[in-house]
Amino acid sequence: MNGLRLDLQFFAEEKTEKATPRKRQEVREKGQVAKSADINTAMVMLVVFLVLFFSGTYYKEKMLHLLSQSFEQYARADLTIDSVHLLFINWLKNTALIIAPVFCAAVAAACLANFLQVGFLFTTEPLKMDWNRLNPIQGLKRIISLRAVVELLKSLLKIGIVGMVTFALLWLQLDHILSLTTKSLSATLSSLASLTVKMGLYASVALLFLAIFDYLYQRFDFEKNIRMSKQDIKDEYKKTEGDPLIKSKMKQKQREMAMKRMMQEVPKADVVITNPTHYAVALKYEDGKMDAPMVVAKGADYVALKIKQLAKEHDVVTVENRPLAQALYRQTEIGDMIPEEFFKAVAEILAYVYRLKRKV
């Protein structure tokens, strides 16, 4: 054991700590969030096939109307540049009216899936050029990484389960499918369309079920990737709270400013009660505006000396009362009204001060 040296700094770099709220906000602003693309795909598929399931008759009539119009009206029209242009615009409008509900439903489903996973998030960080993505070595590492293996297994699992679901549905409908050879073309097409929509719905539900587990995995992987080391947390704390040396200088500056403001109030005081050397408390009272005398400045030792000097320079009366000065210094803060137990003693001092001012 004597020949072994344990460097604890080695463990300080291990990413063992959960990400702080600041780190989470930073990675979110960069567009790095826990999100499963499979949920988006499954939601879009499910909503689109639901629209087709409930609006199948509408789409059938629209498609038949478009086909009949194309063969009965458009085919008989004279072919000129203007007529061809007009026919193309009409055909495009009719096609857009057919596709629009499905397209809008797909967009709404995609937006809803994203919102449910990550909330409202808008950032342009992922669109910025990152030259590391063009690095072939980094690309090779991503290809042979554990994440790539997991994604491959997930893809195989999705293909397998979706394939099994659709195959099971076809197997259960095998007799019905074989009987289509004896039906009319219209009935056959209707049956195939209905079967296709059912296959899409079953596959979407199966994919959505798998996507929930994929989302849980993505959250786990995201949390692991944003973990921080103990040193990272210390660095973030320094960055957030500021360097201790700078903080101490700021506090010193704040104390100096507070001291300056306090000293500016001393000339406005009515009386300064002293210890006589260790403590000094400056009081001010305005009849009708204050319920009780207020402490406008206080200090000990050097600060007390400065208060007394200012009081002398501005002809503020100084009264020596050791017990009262010590009690007021310990029990009050600047801006406080004096406690009730000191009313009598302070009232006597103020009365004495007012008598002196009247004599002057």
pLDDT by residue for the chain (360 residues), tens digit each?
A: 444 444 444 444 577 778 777 888 878 877 778 888 888 888 999 999 998 888 877 777 777 777 777 666 666 666 677 767 777 787 788 788 888 888 898 899 988 988 888 877 776 666 666 666 666 666 666 666 777 787 788 888 888 888 898 889 889 888 888 888 888 877 887 888 888 888 889 999 998 888 888 888 888 888 888 888 777 777 777 676 666 666 677 777 777 777 777 788 778 888 888 887 788 888 888 877 877 888 888 888 888 888 888 888 888 888 888 888 888 888 888 888 888 888 888 888 888 878 877 754
When divided into structural domains, the chain yields a total of 2
Q: Is the domain of 228 the same as that of 321?
A: no
Q: Is the domain of 327 the same as that of 297?
A: yes
Q: Is the domain of 196 the same as that of 270?
A: no
Q: How much is the pLDDT for 4?
A: 46
In a domain, 5, yes or no: no
Q: Is the domain of 23 the same as that of 162?
A: yes
Q: What share of the chain is helix, strand, coil (3-state, %, to 5)?
A: 70, 5, 20
Q: Is the domain of 277 the same as that of 342?
A: yes
- What 8-state DSSP symbol labels residue 335? T
Q: Are 194 and 183 in contact (CB under 8 A)?
A: no
In a domain, 10, yes or no: no
Q: Is the domain of 264 the same as that of 231?
A: no
Q: Is the domain of 229 the same as that of 268?
A: no
In a domain, 244, yes or no: no
Q: Is the domain of 115 the same as that of 167?
A: yes
In a domain, 252, yes or no: no
Q: Please say which residue of 237, 272, 300 terminates a domain.
A: 237
CATH assignment at residue 346: 3.40.1690.10
Q: How much is the pLDDT for 108?
A: 92
Q: Is the domain of 57 the same as that of 153?
A: yes
Q: How much is the pLDDT for 311?
A: 80
In a domain, 96, yes or no: yes
Q: Is the domain of 268 the same as that of 230?
A: no
Cα 156 off chain centre by:
35
- What 8-state DSSP symbol labels residue 288? T
Quick count: other Cβ atoms within 10 Å of Cβ 113? 24
Q: Are 294 and 337 in contact (CB under 8 A)?
A: yes
Q: How much is the pLDDT for 353?
A: 79
What global pTM score does this model have?
0.53
Q: Is the domain of 72 the same as that of 165?
A: yes
Enclosing domain of residue 83: 16-121+134-237
Q: How much is the pLDDT for 328?
A: 83
In a domain, 9, yes or no: no
Q: Is the domain of 228 the same as that of 276?
A: no
Q: How much is the pLDDT for 136?
A: 66
Q: Give the three-state DSSP class for 345.
A: helix
In a domain, 2, yes or no: no
